[in-house]
Amino acid sequence: MKHYFRSCPSPADGRGIFISSLLVIVLTIGLGGDVSATKSAWAQREAFRVVEWSLRAGASVDYAVLRDYPLYPYLRYRDLSRRLTEFPAVEVRDFLQTYSDTPLANRLRYAWLRQLASARRWNDFLRDAVPGRDPTFECWRRQALLNVGQSEAALRDFATLWRRAGSLPSACDPVIAVWQAEGNPTPELRWQRFARAMTAGKMGLARFLRTDMSATDQALADAWLAVADDPTRVLDATRFKAGDPRVPAILADGLSRWRRRDALAALAALDVLKARDPSLAPSLAIEERLLALWIASDYHPSALARLTALPERVVDQDVREWRIRVCLRQGDWPATLHWLDRLPPKERDSPRWQYWRGRALASLGQTETAQSIYRRIANQRDYYGFLAADRLGVPYTITNTPLTISPTALDALLARSPGLRRARELYILGREREADAEWRQATQAFDPATLEQAARLAHRWQWYHQAIITIARAEHWDDLELRFPLAYHDEVVTNAKVDAMDPAWVYAVIRQESAFRADARSPVGALGLMQMLPATGQQIARDLRDAVDTPNLRQPETNIRYGAHYLRQMLERLQNNSILATAAYNAGPNKVMQWLPVDHPLPADVWAETIPYRETRTYVQRVMEYAVVYRHLLGLEGNPKTTLSAGMKPVLPPEPDGQTG
């Protein structure tokens, strides 16, 4: 295999000469004078940095000396990427074959295909294209087929692509032109795409599609557009022709839009529509379910009746569980038992609903039966198992069974997996996103036993979040060292002490928020171990009188310090109740204040189970569960004040002035 190395840069390319010389110097120093050796990892990493920097800068470098370094493919990728305009087809194809096990292969392939399409080199494009979901590349593939005379193949199933809800890229225009010349799309197909655009909220596309419709279809399209603008128009029967099979979709979409503005009014409108035309009921059942769930999450007095009246075909796990939650919130224990009895066996036997069966029976005076249920789940190492153990007054069952994997086995796994070696180097170089991609690709075919080894390997490198993810994929739950690392111990303990808080709670929040990924960034911009929003970080910096305009929230010590302080603020604001503070860390304090009971206290376990947001409900339960595990790992258990239930004080209604603390 011949590689393309510009080992003899032109006289004008001073950068290439300088970089090549620097590369030799770095390797010579690091390898004790032997530039062909590969024993010094430090020298190879430094040389890699130098070469990659030079390639990014456009210099020409002979990097063959790094052929044995795990990240050598990244240098080849960088070199080829900058030369795609020269169409080095042989080298590109060799790279795609040689390094097909790397994430780089797809990245280079798509860059290469983009270059081929731009140059209209359609034969090469067809040779190197692979099936994909990107409409741009799919339309280029169809363009290529058209240009090599395979029109039938180019247009085959194009209607499926055209019917998508979003706008098509310009790459599709030549294909659309040929497709339309053959009499497409049909009026039915055009309406289908219009309907998809409307339900997806793509109003601009919908209006564009309307222009080519028949007069009759335009009238109905205008009616739908009017409903989108004002959902109350679903009640205007003059806009809709009786018996038109397209009308129920318009009404359902209108009710969906109305639901987001006023769910109760939308439900009343639904009742009117069903009374006016009972045949509409089956078509509107899905929206009826969503409306019932919507008001159930607000605990409206009519919620249980609405959930009960739903047609059986739309009753799913969410509906069944919300029937129970509404009863829990109302303190109606007989009704709670009624709906628990109607769960399918798999749901009914889960620790969650077994616990609530015990709670209901105990509240109705059936103590012995309740305790037998608690005993059934009290040995579970989870939120409900811990609550059940507290009800019985027995110690928690916290099993820790570390994996027994020899260092020799870990070294052997690393030796036979180029992907893991690349992931390790990228992680050491601080390129965690790329390291993640290599790790995922390298481990995707691993069996559970090999995943366990890989998880232990990642933990050995202190790549904690990857170890947590990988051991979960192996479905091995009992190695607590892997699943609940005590990373950043001094920072957590010190800052928890400063704010007079339980360090296990701080650890639990870190574990749930980022799984110990210091460079984590959420879709909304939250950063670091404890996922602090920059605005919150700036406010805390002012509170702590830190002389920084923009605190570095990816710096672990800063992130932990600020996150612990924010938890303390939430405690002080929300009844000094860790359940409420934990919920506020996820959903915000204002939302939590909206969820407080109106006129009487609620037991903390009931409040946590009836949090309206699924995400926050799960978040709170996991954090409280993880805090118990971390108390065990930190040696803080044994004191009755450290049990799960001890931190779950009753949730009180807001004070008359709106304050909760």
- 416-449: pLDDT as tens digits: 999 999 999 999 999 999 999 999 999 999 999 9
Angle at 418 between CA 414 and CA 424, to 5 degrees: 65
240-264 burial: b if 16+ Cβ within 10 Å, else e = beeeeebbbebbbbbbbbbbeeebe
Residue-level pLDDT at 661: 52
> What average pLDDT does the segment 13-18 reach?
49
In a 3-state reduction of DSSP, which class is residue 166?
Answer: coil
Domain extent listing, the chain:
14-144, 407-477, 489-647
Long-range residue pairs from 638-647, CB within 8 A, at least 24 positions apart, any chain: 642/502, 642/504, 643/386, 643/390, 644/383, 644/386, 644/387, 644/390, 645/387, 645/390, 645/391, 647/502, 647/505, 647/578, 647/579
Nearest to residue 142, comparing CAs of 124, 156, 128? 156
Looking at residue 12, its pLDDT comes to: 38
Count the Cβ atoms, other than its own, within 10 Å of residue 339: 24
* pLDDT per position as a tens digit, 151-205: 999 999 999 999 998 999 999 999 999 999 999 999 999 999 999 999 999 999 9
pLDDT digits (tens, 9 = 90+) for 240-283: 988 899 999 999 999 999 999 999 999 999 999 999 999 999 99
Arithmetic mean of pLDDT, 64-76? 95
- Cβ atoms of 579 and 620 within 8 Å: the answer is yes
Q: CATH topology for 489-647? A: Lysozyme (1.10.530)
Token pair recorded at residue 403? 């994996």
Confidence bin at 3 (pLDDT 50/70/90): very low
Q: Is 513 a catalytic residue?
A: yes
pLDDT tens-digit map of 36-53? 444 588 899 999 999 999
Task: Kindly tell me the burial class for residue 103, based on how many C-beta atoms sit within 10 Å of its own C-beta (0-12, 13-18, 19 or more).
Answer: buried
d(CA 324, CA 353): 9
pLDDT tens per residue across span 83-122: 999 999 999 999 999 999 999 999 999 999 999 999 999 9
C-alpha distances (whole Å) from 374 to each of 28, 380, 476, 607 are: 68, 10, 25, 20
The yes/no answer on whether domain 407-477 falls in CATH 1.20.950 is no
pLDDT mean over 541-563: 93
DSSP string, 228-292: HH-GGGGG-GGGS-TT-TTHHHHHHHHHHHHHHH-HHHHHHHHHHHHHH-GGGGGGGHHHHHHHH
DSSP 49: H
Residue 60 has a pLDDT of 85
Residue 332 has pLDDT above 60, yes or no: yes
Could you read off the pLDDT of 592-651 as tens digits, one per residue? 999 999 989 999 999 999 999 999 999 999 999 999 999 999 999 777 678 999 889 999
3-state secondary structure of 527: strand
634 contact partners, CB below 8 Å, separation of at least 6? 486, 503, 504, 507
Q: Is the peptide bond before 185 cis (omega within 30 degrees of 0)?
A: yes
- Is pLDDT above 50 for 9? no
Judge whether residue 532 has pLDDT over 80.
yes
Residue linked to tokens 């989870």:
382
pLDDT(7) > 70: no
Over range 454-481, report the average pLDDT: 97
Contact 559, 534 (CB under 8 A): no
Is the pLDDT score of 13 beyond 90? no
Is residue 21 very low, low, confident or very high in pLDDT (cuts 50, 70, 90)?
Answer: low
Query: Residue 22: its pLDDT value, please?
Result: 57
So what's the pLDDT on residue 137?
96
**Mean pLDDT for the chain?**
92
In 3D, which of 348, 307, 357 has the Cα closest to residue 328?
Answer: 357
Q: Tell me what percent of the residues of the chain surpass a pLDDT of 90.
A: 87
51-78 burial, b at 16+ Cβ within 10 Å, e below that, comes to: bbebbeeebbbbbebbeebbbbbbbbbb
Q: Give the model's pLDDT for residue 396.
A: 95
Alpha carbon of 464 to those of 485, 490, 581: distances in Å?
7, 17, 26
Tell me the pLDDT tens digit for each residue of 219-233. Answer: 999 999 999 999 999
Residue 229: CB partners within 8 Å, gap ≥ 6? none
- Count of beta carbons in the 10 Å neighbourhood of residue 523: 5
Which tokens in the block code for residue 49?
Answer: 């940095």
pLDDT of residue 20: 53
The pLDDT of residue 336 is 98
Residue 507 above 70 pLDDT? yes
Bigger pLDDT: 555 vs 18: 555
Q: Which pLDDT score, from 0 to 100, does residue 591 have?
A: 97
pLDDT tens column, 566-588: 999 999 999 999 999 999 999 99
Confidence band, pLDDT 50/70/90 cuts, at residue 314: very high
Question: How far apart (Å, rounded) are the C-alpha atoms in residues 251 and 230?
Answer: 12
pLDDT above 90: residue 306:
yes
Cα 376 from Cα 357, distance rounded (Å): 12
Q: What's the burial of 147, exposed, middle or buried (CB within 10 Å: 0-12/13-18/19+)? A: middle
Which string of DSSP letters, residue by residue, matches 483-500? HS--TTHHHHHHHHHHTT
- In this prediction, residue 659 has a pLDDT band, given cuts at 50, 70 and 90, of low
Give the active site residue among 288, 425, 434, 513: 513
